[in-house]
């Protein structure tokens, strides 16, 4: 235990570039203004399932604890409800920082084992890039087949009900210019890796 603690402190100094990366981004510019008041954690509707509540994440970012921050499940649990952002007295765009953290996690391939949100995101985004629109049924089947096959079975009755009521389409809708959209998103991916 002691050994790993020491290693973390050493890393803290090594990774001061991490703070620079975050504060140089538009979203993270105000991270250093955090007064550690805890309003974000108190506002967060999902803090109880996070390993570190948002206030701690900000303290850890400032300490340069890159590995711990990136391995935290917190950004993946964030419901993107903007409640913390609305309430933050230091006007930090907390939700945007959570997006930024997720992008860094994906870029560096450091992702908490306690989440599969990253896989869900990639299925969702690939679907949008392919068709131009999201397709709820396809998304549900693809994600659940791969990761939660038992849950998929439980969803069948609801799915059938929704389909009968016309609120779940069987096939995805492909926009007319889907090919061009694919092409320009490819360009965008080349321009910016995260």
Partner 1 sequence: MKYLYYPGCSQKSSAISYERSFLAICDVLGIELIELDDWNCCGATIAISVNKMVSFLLAARNLGLANKYNLPLVTPCPSCYVSLNRILKVCKESKSQSDQINTLLAEEDLTFSTDTQVYHSLEFLVHIIGLDTIRERIRNPLRGFKIAPYYGCQLVGSYVNPDNNGNPQSLEELIEVLGAEPVKFPFRTQCCGGSLMFTLSKQAEKLSGMILQSICRTDADLIVTPCGLCQMNLEIAQKKNHGKIPRQRPLPVITFGQMMGLAFDLDSGTIGINKKKILAKQNIISLTN
Q: Give the footprint of partner 1 on this chain (CB under 8 A).
A: 26, 45-46, 49, 76-77, 79-83, 85-87, 93, 95-96, 99, 102-103, 106, 115-117, 120-122, 124-125, 128-129, 132-137, 139-140, 143-144, 151, 158, 161-162, 165-169, 173, 175-177, 180-181, 183-185, 187-189, 191-194
CB of residue 33 vs partner 1: minimum separation in angstroms? 16
Name residues whose C-beta falls within 8 Å of residue 76's C-beta, 6 or more positions apart in sequence: 102, 111, 112, 114, 115, 117, 118
65 vs 98, beta carbon nearer partner 1: 98
Give residue for tokens 């849950």: 151
Rounded to a whole number, what is the distance in angstroms from the first to the last CA of the chain?
A: 34
18 vs 143, beta carbon nearer partner 1: 143
43 vs 63, beta carbon nearer partner 1: 43
CB of residue 59 vs partner 1: minimum separation in angstroms? 22
51 vs 96, beta carbon nearer partner 1: 96
22 vs 63, beta carbon nearer partner 1: 22
Name residues whose C-beta falls within 8 Å of residue 194's C-beta, 6 or more positions apart in sequence: 103, 104, 106, 107
- Distance, in Å, from the CA atom of 142 to the CA atom of 139, rounded to the nearest integer, reads 5
**Alpha helices, H only, the chain:** 2-14, 16-24, 39-43, 54-62, 66-71, 74-77, 83-87, 94-108, 117-131, 136-147, 149-164, 178-191
CB of residue 12 vs partner 1: minimum separation in angstroms? 26
Choose among 111, 125, 85, 97: nearest CA to 31: 97
CB of residue 116 vs partner 1: minimum separation in angstroms? 7
CB of residue 120 vs partner 1: minimum separation in angstroms? 5
């Amino acid at each position: 235990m002691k050994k790993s603690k020491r290693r973390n402190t050493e890393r803290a100094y090594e990774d001061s570039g991490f703070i620079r990366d975050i504060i140089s981004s538009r979203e993270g510019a105000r991270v250093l203004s955090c007064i550690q008041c805890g309003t974000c954690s108190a506002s967060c509707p999902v803090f109880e399932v996070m390993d570190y509540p948002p206030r701690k994440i900000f303290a850890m970012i400032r300490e340069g604890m890159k590995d711990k921050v990136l391995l935290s499940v917190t950004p993946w649990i964030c419901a993107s409800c903007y409640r913390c952002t609305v309430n933050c007295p230091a006007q930090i765009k907390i939700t945007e920082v959570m997006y930024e953290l997720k992008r860094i996690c994906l870029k560096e391939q450091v992702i908490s084992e306690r989440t599969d949100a990253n896989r869900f995101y990639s299925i969702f985004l690939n679907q949008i890039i392919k068709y131009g629109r999201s397709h709820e049924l396809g998304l549900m089947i693809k994600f659940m087949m791969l990761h939660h096959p038992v849950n998929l079975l439980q969803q069948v009755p609801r799915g059938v009900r929704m389909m009968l009521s016309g609120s779940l389409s069987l096939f995805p809708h492909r926009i007319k210019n889907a090919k061009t959209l694919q092409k320009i998103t490819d360009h965008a991916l080349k321009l910016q890796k995260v």
